[in-house]
Amino acid sequence: MILVLGAYGAGKRDFARSLGYKEFEMSDSIEAEAPVLFGLEEIVRADPEGYEALIEPLCRRELVLCCEVGSGVIPNSREDRVFREATGRLCVLLAKRAEAVVRVVAGIPVAIKGELPCARC
C-alpha cells in the first residue's frame, strides 16, 4: 500500500491517474474493492472513533489518498477537533505500514518514505 497525502485539491487523484489508474479503479467507499481509495478523511469523519478498524482494509489497497487536515487553527467544535485528531493518528499508523508515502504539493509528488512508484505497465 502506498499512502498519498496532500492538501485539499493538491493533485492526489491526478497523481494516481499519472500512474495509470482509471476512474473506475478509484473509489471513496471503504467497502469497494477498487485498488485506489480516495477521500479517506471523509470516511474518518463519518466515524472518527473507529479509525483503527480501517487500517487492515486500507492496507489491502494499492493506493490510499488522504487530505492533510491538521494544519489550521484548532476548530471550535469538538466534532471537528476529534475528526482532525483521528485523521492525523490514522495517517501516522498507515505511514508506518506503507511501502511508500508520497506527499503531493501543488501537483508535485514528493516521496517522504520509500520511492516514488513507477507507472503501471
Partner 1 sequence: MLILLTGGSASGKSSYAEDLCLRSPMPRFYLAAMQPYGEEGALRVERHRKLRAGKGFETIERYRDYGSLVLPERGTVLLECICNLTANEMFDDDGNMTDPRERVVEGVKNVASQCDTLFVITNDVGSDGIEYEGSTQEYVRALGDINARLSAMADAVVEMVAGIPILLKGDVPA
- The verdict on 112 binding partner 1 (CB under 8 A) reads yes
Region from 18-26, 40-48, 52-60, 81-89 binding partner 1, contact rule CB under 8 A: 81-89
Centre a 10 Å sphere on the Cβ of residue 48 and count the other Cβ atoms it contains. Answer: 19
Residue 108 CB coordination number (10 Å): 11
Identify the three-state secondary structure at position 46.
helix
Dist CA 8 CA 5 (whole Å)? 9
Residues of span 49-68 touching partner 1 by CB under 8 A: 68
Of 48, 87, 104, 109, the residue at the interface with partner 1 (CB under 8 A) is 87
Told to check if 101 binds partner 1 by CB under 8 A, we report: yes
Angle at 24 between CA 116 and CA 2, to 5 degrees: 25
Would you tell me which residues interact with partner 1 (CB under 8 A)?
3, 5, 7, 68-74, 78, 81, 84-89, 91-92, 94-96, 101, 103, 112-113
